[in-house]
Chain A
Amino acid sequence: MNIGWYLAVSTIIFAIGAAGVLTKRNALVILLCLELMLNAANLALVAFSRMWGNGDGQIFAIIVMVVAACEVTVGLGLIVAIHRRGLAVDADELSELHG
């Protein structure tokens, strides 16, 4: 398969993730859509790594996975903390810092 096909799939997944981040209000689902976007970027990195026949892109993808795991732990910790305080996990209602 041509590398272009993989890039097209990665582009579509990234656009879907962006749509989810923009439209969803539940903070959990926004985190899920962020995962989608990170995974789309990973797929593009691995495709480029295959294109050049060079392993550097795969290392980059592993680092992206590490950053995604960190983001998930901190994000889910925030959601649990918000829920413990009795607030709704709603990105539109949590607007106290909105100037």
Chain B
Amino acid sequence: MTPLIFFIASIGAIAGAIGVIALRNPFYGVLSLVGHLLCLAALFLLLHAEFLAAAQVIVYAGGVMVLYVFVVAYVGGSGESLGASHGWLRVLTPVFVGVLLLELMVATLGSGLKAVGTEGADIQASFGSPAEIGELLLTRFLFPFEVASLLLLVAAIGAVGLARRRSGFTVGDAPLDAAARSASPPKGSGTMAEAAGDRPVFGGKVGDQ
């Protein structure tokens, strides 16, 4: 049973990865990546990393990919004009990737580690469970855990600054804020005022209808 699940999941993961680079529309690329991540979560389950599989599905397939879908919808899937790069890069890339693949295969499979050819060491039933991961994170890896939380905070603040309305972090942009506040939002953007009906809704006053 395990080989069957492994081959289905790994073929799904590789197919999802190929879909990301083969599909022209970025939106379909994101969906393909979601399938890839789900297959990878199945592989994690086979490796007794239950907590990591759950985190993969919830954080990646659930959170990060939703962010991607929003940005693709905002920026627009201008896939047709943004194809592959220059001609020489197109020719050179398969060679480079082939060499990279060969080298990584040699590095991992030909490493002389005897355990690569086995199913792994004997493990306890609690291996990879949330309890064990939590204990490791709060005892042996407490410092990396805290650094990771700090990194998340910095990234969140940075993203808010980057995606601000006009020009990112600038000092003294109070006039901009005032102008932005006084300007009426675009029609049909779903504001509370529109819902209350005291603003033009979709090309006409409410009273005109």
Q: Is B18 an interface residue (CB 8 A)?
A: yes
B67 touches A70 (CB 8 A): no
Interface size on A, residues (CB 8 A): 73
Partner of A50, one of B48, B79, B94: B48
Alpha-carbon separation in the docked complex, A62 to B55 (Å) = 8
Q: Is B201 an interface residue (CB 8 A)?
A: no
B55 touches A65 (CB 8 A): yes
Alpha-carbon separation in the docked complex, A10 to B68 (Å) = 23
A25 touches B108 (CB 8 A): no
B121 contacts which chain A residues (CB < 8 A)? 50-54
A9 touches B47 (CB 8 A): no
Please report the number of residue pairs spanning A and B whose Cβ atoms sit closer than 8 angstroms: 251
B49 touches A4 (CB 8 A): no
**Closest CB in chain A relative to B174 CB, distance in Å:** 20
B20 touches A33 (CB 8 A): yes
8 Å CB contacts to A: which residues of B109-149?
Answer: 109, 113, 115-123, 127-128, 132-133, 136-137, 140-141, 144, 148
Alpha-carbon separation in the docked complex, A14 to B40 (Å) = 13
Further contacts, 12 of them, CB under 8 A, given A4-B109, A12-B14, A32-B29 = A5-B10, A8-B105, A9-B10, A24-B82, A28-B68, A32-B30, A50-B47, A50-B49, A51-B113, A55-B132, A58-B51, A77-B158
**Given A16-B21, A58-B128, A8 contacting B47 (CB threshold 8 A):** no
8 Å CB contacts to B: which residues of A62-99?
Answer: 62-63, 65-74, 76-81, 83-84, 88-90, 92
